[in-house]
Amino acid sequence: MKKLLLPACIACIAAIVLVFYSFTMRKPTGKNADTITVEGGKISGVKSTASDVTAFKGIPFAAPPVGELRWKAPQPVVPWSGIKQCDAFGPSPMQGTPRPFMVYTSEFLIPEQPISEDCLYLNVWTNAHKGAKHPVFLWIYGGGFSSGGTGVPIYDGEAMAKKGVIFVSANYRVGVFGFLAHPDLTKESPMHASGNYGLLDQIAALKWIKKNIAAFGGDPNNVTIDGQSAGSMSVNCLVASPAAHGLFNKAIAESGSFMVANPLIQSTTLETAEQQGVKFAASAHASGIEELRKMSAADLMKASGRFSPITDGYVLPKPVYQIFAEGAQNNVPVITGWNGDESFVMTFKKAAAYVEQIRKQFGADADEVLKYYPGNTDEEAARSQVRMSRDQTFAMSGFKWASLQSQQGKAPIYVYNFNRKLPATPDYVKYGAFHTGEVAYVMDDLKFLNRPWEAADQPLATLMSSYWVNFIKTGNPNGQGLPEWPKYNNATQQAMVFDAASGKQTLPNKDALKFMVDRVEAGK
C-alpha cells in the first residue's frame, strides 16, 4: 500500500498509509511440488490446483535479524536439515497492529499475527522448469516505511507467473527496526554507515535472486524491481544505489520517489539521523545501542520516532535526487507514474479559507498556484486540495524523474497516469482512483479485491498486466495488439493514461507539475 526521515507534514500521511499494507493469511491449496535446493537447504512448495504455478512461501533469505543482529546488515541464512515446507508466508515485520481504515479493507492488510522481528523471508511463484530462463520480477511493498508485508491478497503472484514471469516478493524491516541510525551503529559498521537496514534487506533479496533463482527456472540476469508508495521510493533508492549495481536491469516505480529536492519527500543526512537516533534512545530510557538491543521489540515500538531511508554514505552516498542529477544512478529502463486521486486529505477547507491559505503559503506565486489549483467554489477548492496533495506527495517527483531521465537519454522511461475510479459502494466511491488502487490491475488480481466490478475493469487489468509483463521481459511495455505506449520525452511529454478507455495522451497537469517542481527547486 507506500511505506514514503519524512517531515511532519508527510509523516502523518505515512503513519496513515502504514496500516493498509497488511494482508490476510491464506491457507495453502493444491499439492506438494518437487523439492528445490537453495541457500540453506532443500525446500518444497505447493502447486496450484487451478494452474501449473507452484508457490514457495516463507523461504528464509537471511538470518533472523534479532538479538545482536538487530540493526545489522542482513547476515547469511541459517542452514536447516531435511526439506523445509514453504507453504505459508513468513511473519510480517514488526509494526503496529493493522486496522482497516478509509478505503483500505482487509484485501490491503496483513494479519494481526504472525508479526515478528524474525521476518526476512521471501516468496516465489513459478511455472518454469529448472533450466528455463524466465524473467524475474521482485515486488517491494509500501507502507510508509513503517508497515507492510508480502502476503497482502492483492500481491498474489500466481496470475503473473502464469504469464511466464518468476514472481518474487520479499519482506524487509520497517520502522525503527529497519531505519534507525545512531552513532554507535555507524561506529560498529564496516561501512561506517547506519540507518538503511530495510534497503539492505531488499538488496539481500536481490542477491538471493542472483544466486538461487535459476533453480526455479528464472534468469538471474533479467530482473525487474517494482514497488508502490514506500516500495516505489525504495525502487528509486535502489536505482540510485551503487550497492545494488548489477542486481537488476529494469525498474518500475508506482507512486513515489525522492527525485525532488523537496522537504516533503527528501531523505535526511546520516549526521541528522544519528542525532534523531540518540533522541530515540533517550525516549526509550536507554543509554545506547547495547541497551536498545536488550529491549523487547514491543517496548521499542512504544518509544517515539519516525524512520525512513537516509543519505547514509554507503547505500546512498548522496541524496537520491543529486545522484540522478549527476548521472551516477544505475541506468536502467523505467516505468513510473501515479494515480488520479491519491491524496490523504481528510478534511477540506471551504473555498474562501482555501484561497486564503494559498495566498499565505505561496505569497507572490499565489495567483499562479490558483491558476493550476483553483478554488472558485467549495467543490472546486476540494478537488484542488486533492490534486495539490497528490502532486506534492507523489506526482512531482515522478514528473522530475521522467524529465531528467528523458534529458539524459541513457535509458528509456515510460510514464503512466492511473485514473480509473474504482467501482465502489457509496462508502468508498468518494476515493476514486485512490493510492494503491492500480496494484490489483497490474497484478491481474481483481479477484482478490472485493469491489462491484464493471465491464471495463477486467479488460483494464488484462491491458495493464500485459504492459507490465512485456516490460519485465524486454524493457519495453509495448507488444502485439496493445495500444502504443510511447517513451516519455520532454518535447512531447506523452504518457499512457489508464482508465475505462485507455490510451496515450499529453501528460495531464504537466504545466502545474513543472511550475511546482521549478518553484521548489528554486528554494521557494
For residue 172 the three cell numbers come to 524487509
3-state secondary structure 152-178: CHHHCCHHHHHCCCEEEEECCCCHHHH
Q: Which residues on adjacent β-strands are paired with residue 228?
A: 254
pLDDT value at residue 265: 52
Is 342 among the catalytic positions? yes
pLDDT (tens digit per residue) in 268-326: 899 999 999 999 999 999 989 999 999 999 999 988 788 999 999 999 999 999 999 99
For residue 507 the three cell numbers come to 501528460
User: What residue type is 310 in one-letter code?
Assistant: I
Identify whether the C-beta of residue 64 lies closer than 8 Å to the C-beta of residue 121.
Answer: no
pLDDT band at 6 (very low <50, low <70, confident <90, very high): very low
Active-site position among 435, 438, 465, 502: 435
Active-site position among 342, 406, 466, 502: 342
For the chain, the average pLDDT equals 92
Residues of the chain with pLDDT > 70: what percent? 93
pLDDT value at residue 266: 57
| Secondary structure of residue 393 in the 3-state scheme | helix
Q: Residue ranges per domain, the chain?
A: 8-521
Q: What is 8-521's CATH number, 3.30.1180.20, 3.40.50.1820, 2.40.50.100, 3.40.640.10?
A: 3.40.50.1820
Predicted TM-score (pTM) of the model is: 0.93
pLDDT value at residue 241: 98
Tell the burial category of 81 from Cβ atoms under 10 Å away from its Cβ (0-12, 13-18, 19+): exposed
pLDDT exceeds cutoff 50 at 129: yes
Higher pLDDT, residue 238 or 14 = 238
Within 10 angstroms of residue 492's Cβ, the number of other Cβ atoms is 13
For residue 363 the three cell numbers come to 505569497
pLDDT value at residue 262: 60
Is 290 among the catalytic positions? no
pLDDT value at residue 267: 65
pLDDT exceeds cutoff 50 at 163: yes
Is 232 among the catalytic positions? no
Q: Given the DSSP bridges, would you call strands 218-228 and 250-254 parallel, antiparallel or unpaired?
A: parallel
pLDDT exceeds cutoff 60 at 264: no
pLDDT (tens digit per residue) in 398-454: 999 999 999 999 999 999 999 999 999 888 999 999 999 999 999 999 999 999 999
Active-site position among 92, 147, 194, 229: 229
pLDDT value at residue 109: 87
Identify whether the C-beta of residue 35 lies closer than 8 Å to the C-beta of residue 89.
Answer: no
pLDDT exceeds cutoff 60 at 7: no
